[in-house]
Amino acid sequence: MNASTAAGHARRPGPATVTLLFAAILCAGCAGWAPWTNREQAARNRERYGPTANQRIKEIETEAKEAKAGTADRQAAFTQELIRKMLEEHDPRVRCAILGAANEFDTPAALAICRGALDDPNERVRTRACEEWRKRGGEEAVQLLAARYRTDPELDVRLRALRMLGDLKEKSAIPVLAKALEDPDPAVQYRAVSSLKKVSGRDLGDDVNKWREWAADPNGTSAEWSVAETFRKLF
């Protein structure tokens, strides 16, 4: 055996060494996925950094279920606590969860959260607020969604507000949707047409001009219903 061959054999690990290395790798892997280790690490992380966003969401959902089954006083106290959490929460995902939980209750605090979320600094939360107001429904929902369409700086939020107005199927939303037909953005025009189909119960196709003509006098006469009159109430 020459010197280079001997050196090559010396560099190769023997069977025992390979077995030990393989066992070490397996043990390291086991330590990574062992459920008790993960639980301990999660507990340490929670103690050091506080609950994660997912943990906070889960806690809100659990507390909401418990409060829903409780007394009126319990529900009032829970939704009041949600206001504090909403103001302190930095993660938009968690604020969306707080909003969704609040909308399950009919308390002043819950209503305040739903109203305030429409002005949240995060687009995701404002979009979710539009959806929650569709669930609430009623004339206030029409008013708030109309305002969100007119004032929101983000196109996606404005489009969601228009869609939710259509889903409400309230006749009082027609003037808002009719005005949206004049928006220079084709996406807004299309969404207005889609929502007008739902609210009016008619299908004039996707021609914006046809819908503009209809919106000017939906019944072919001003005696039964007047767009101008409703415009005066809303604007």
* Residue 73 located in a structural domain: no
Show the beta-strand stretches assigned E in the chain.
Answer: none
* Residue 63 located in a structural domain: no
pLDDT band at 192 (very low <50, low <70, confident <90, very high): very high
Distances from the Cα of 110 to the Cα of 19, 39, 131, 196, 197, angstroms: 62, 34, 15, 30, 32
**Whole-prediction pTM value?**
0.73
pLDDT over threshold 60, residue 3: no
Q: Average pLDDT for residues 204-213, to the nearest whole number?
A: 88
pLDDT for the residue numbered 174: 92
Number of other CB atoms surrounding residue 98 within 10 Å: 26
pLDDT over threshold 90, residue 226: no
Query: Whole-angstrom Cα distance, residue 138 to residue 9?
Result: 84
* Residue 233 located in a structural domain: yes
Asked if 199 contacts 166 with a C-beta cutoff of 8 angstroms, the reply is yes
The pair of three-digit structure tokens given for residue 212, joined into one six-digit string: 């503009």
Q: Over the Cα atoms of the chain, what is R_g? A: 29
Least confident window among 14-28, 34-48, 80-94, 207-221: 14-28
Q: Average pLDDT for residues 102-113, to the nearest whole number?
A: 97
Residues 6+ apart with CB under 8 A from 208: 181, 189, 193
Where is pLDDT greater, at 207 or 23?
207
* Residue 34 located in a structural domain: no
Which SS3 state, helix, strand or coil, does residue 105 take?
coil
* Residue 218 located in a structural domain: yes
pLDDT band at 202 (very low <50, low <70, confident <90, very high): confident
Torsion of the alpha carbons at 153, 110, 65 and 97, rounded to the nearest 10: 20
pLDDT one-digit tens code per residue, 14-37: 555 444 444 433 344 444 445 445
* Residue 216 located in a structural domain: yes
pLDDT for the residue numbered 217: 76
Give how many domains the chain has, as a whole number: 1
The residue range of the domain holding 167 is 151-235
* Residue 49 located in a structural domain: no
* Residue 162 located in a structural domain: yes
pLDDT band at 77 (very low <50, low <70, confident <90, very high): very high
pLDDT for the residue numbered 215: 82
Query: Residue 212 maps to which CATH number?
Result: 1.25.10
pLDDT one-digit tens code per residue, 180-190: 999 999 999 99
Cα of first residue to Cα of last residue in the chain, in angstroms, is: 99
pLDDT one-digit tens code per residue, 132-168: 999 999 999 999 999 999 999 999 999 999 999 999 9
